[in-house]
Chain A
Amino acid sequence: MCGNEALAEAAILAGCDAYFGYPITPQNEISAYLAHRMPAEGRVFIQSESELAAINMVFGAAATGKRAMTSSSSPGISLMQEGMSYLAGAELPAVVVNVMRGGPGLGNISPAQGDYFQATRGGGHGDYKTIVLGPASVQEMADCMLLAFDLADQYRITVEILADGLLGQMMEPLTLAPRPHRPLPAKDWALTGHAGGKQNIIRSLWLGEGALEEHNKKLQAKYRRIEENEVRCEEYRLDGAEVVVVAYGIVARIARAAVDQGRQEGIPVGLIRPITLWPFPSRQIGRAADTFPVVLTAEMSSGQMLEDVKLAVAGKAPVLFYGRMGGGIPSADELLGQIRELTLSKKQV
């Protein structure tokens, strides 16, 4: 199974009730797969007329308390930002999958990580956050999907899965099994149309004096809770490391190969891989910076996660950067070259 299909089947396992999407490479396998699987399960699949329509259909379905999702790639996700801001304002649980491609603009169809800022900073207008998961394998494409709906329901928030074209297209063996649900709050806020029940209102418009500020305070308190409880990251071969690479998604896979090779050559190098990009594992990286002299951030962008790494390190260690852009994929040898240079320059100091 390719990463896109693994994610799609995991959506079925996660109990996704409705999928809405508009085609774009390199994520079309998701909609192609769900186009036959969702109706076969008696669930909703709609190929919408546009990305705007798709995200607003997600809004509508989520408002009824159903599990709803959409998927797209970079330019399509840009088109959805208005809807994502509304989802945040209305506190609706939803899952959005971004299989990133090269940008800006229509860019190309090669893998990239240039949408990190858009995903982790909210993307649309207003003070809001979405939980952002960065899978690094076909297995994790499925695992993140299974986790995403639970997180979305627990916090009434949009969860964005931030993958890239390579993860979407590559195939690897994986094990698919439903995960035990975490205990989730009842959706007593949903619009279920029952006569005589309590009236529910889903909205993002708060015109009353001070009402929107109160609403924002509530949202921010929720975001702090998420930051407290939902950080996930993987630490790899940090024992005695003098250089720590920070990378996410497919770049973390490539970095892992570079770390293994470096260790074979006797270079003390390790890896920290954020799995949640928001909330960001600042504490883990900050702790590492206390002990390790040099941090190298690697991305398929001009340096976006780099800013979060620098904030986490807070000046305690030099943070260097290696990136490729516009669909360029760094090789393990390239990264290893950077690591070797760092070790060398450190010895000279």
Chain B
Amino acid sequence: MMLYEELVIAGFGGQGIVLAGKLLAQTAMRAGLEVTYMPSYGAEVRGGTANCMVIVSDKPIACPVVCTPNALVICNKASLSKFAPRLKPGGVLIFNRSLIQSVSSVPDGVEVLGVPAEEIAIESGSPKCANMVMLGAYLGKRAHLSPEQAAASLPEILAERHHKTIPMNAAALRRGADFVLCHA
């Protein structure tokens, strides 16, 4: 099976978009896959838009810039209108239903999946781990890596002072995946 997955994770600064992307990249690398990770960088620390592009493949990756993603993880409304029109047919759009009520302007042939990320995050221990719920949902949908593999990479991605949150983040990853498996 050939794997070539171009993912964009987008939301606003402070939602942990970049962290989720880094975690996926690290997890893919640990699994022996080829991976590139490209964040938007600069002024968008909190409040502005933030996004990152992750390509995971079983072959060397030529171009690290994603123009037409086959998967989107969208955490706020502004990012939805920016990225949804670029989705490839046959792709999947996973959106944060806690912040986005309805989804329009999605290309034909795209699977759309709403995840109540904030609610699941609160159940997992903190609304702050909504990013992990969304990443978990993505991993549940695209089965090339498991939420447990991602959880195992958390210590390498989180600063040491945050390591006490690892169990909570691991639970959020699992719950995100479970939500998709139950509702898909």
Contacts and interface: CB of A to CB of B under 8 A. Distances in A.
Interface of A: 25-26, 109, 165-166, 169-173, 250, 253-254, 256-258, 260, 329, 331-333
A245 to B, nearest CB: 12
B78 interface: no
B130 interface: no
Contact of B64 (A26, A109, A173, A253): A253
A247 B68 CA distance: 22
B35 A172 contact: yes
Given A25-B41, A165-B41, A173 B63 contact: no
A332 B63 contact: yes
Contacts of A169: 38-39, 41
Nearest to B29: A173
29 contacts: A26-B41, A26-B42, A109-B41, A165-B41, A169-B38, A169-B39, A170-B38, A170-B39, A171-B25, A171-B36, A171-B37, A172-B35, A173-B29, A173-B34, A173-B35, A250-B64, A253-B63, A254-B62, A254-B65, A256-B63, A257-B63, A260-B62, A329-B65, A332-B62, A332-B63, A332-B65, A332-B67, A333-B67, A333-B68
B36 A257 contact: no
Nearest to A26: B41
A74 B111 CA distance: 43
Given A166-B38, A170-B36, A170-B37, 11 more contacts: A109-B43, A166-B64, A172-B35, A172-B37, A172-B64, A254-B65, A256-B62, A260-B62, A331-B67, A332-B65, A333-B67
A171 B22 contact: yes
Nearest to B68: A333
Q: What 9 pairs between A and B have smallest CB-CB spacing?
A: A257-B63, A257-B62, A256-B62, A171-B37, A331-B67, A170-B38, A254-B63, A109-B42, A173-B29
A172 B36 contact: yes
Interface of A is mostly: helix
Contacts of A329: 65
Contacts of A170: 36-39, 64
Interface string B62-82: 111101100000000000000
Contacts of B67: 331-333
A52 to B, nearest CB: 25
A200 B25 CA distance: 52
Chain A CB count within 10 A is highest, among B41, B42, B61, for: B41
Chain B interface extent, by class? 10 to 19
A67 to B, nearest CB: 29
A25 B42 contact: yes
Nearest to A172: B36
Interface in B1-54: 22, 25, 29, 34-39, 41-43
A173 B56 CA distance: 12
Contacts of A173: 29, 34-35
Q: Which of A173, A256, A332 has the most CB atoms of chain B within a 10 A radius of its CB?
A: A173
A254 B43 CA distance: 26
Contacts of B29: 173
A331 B41 contact: no
A173 B62 CA distance: 14
A25 B44 CA distance: 13
B41 A253 contact: no
A256 B64 CA distance: 11
A77 to B, nearest CB: 19
B34 to A, nearest CB: 8
A250 B43 CA distance: 22
Nearest to B43: A109
A258 B63 CA distance: 9
B103 to A, nearest CB: 25
Nearest to B59: A260
A260 B61 CA distance: 11
Interface centre among B42, B43, B63 (most CB of A within 10 A): B63
Contacts of A257: 62-63
B86 to A, nearest CB: 11
Contacts of B64: 166, 170, 172, 250, 253
Contacts of A25: 41-42
A169 B39 CA distance: 7
B142 to A, nearest CB: 20
Nearest to A166: B38
Nearest to B25: A171
Nearest to A174: B29
Nearest to A28: B41
Nearest to A258: B63
Nearest to A138: B36
Nearest to B30: A173
A36 to B, nearest CB: 13
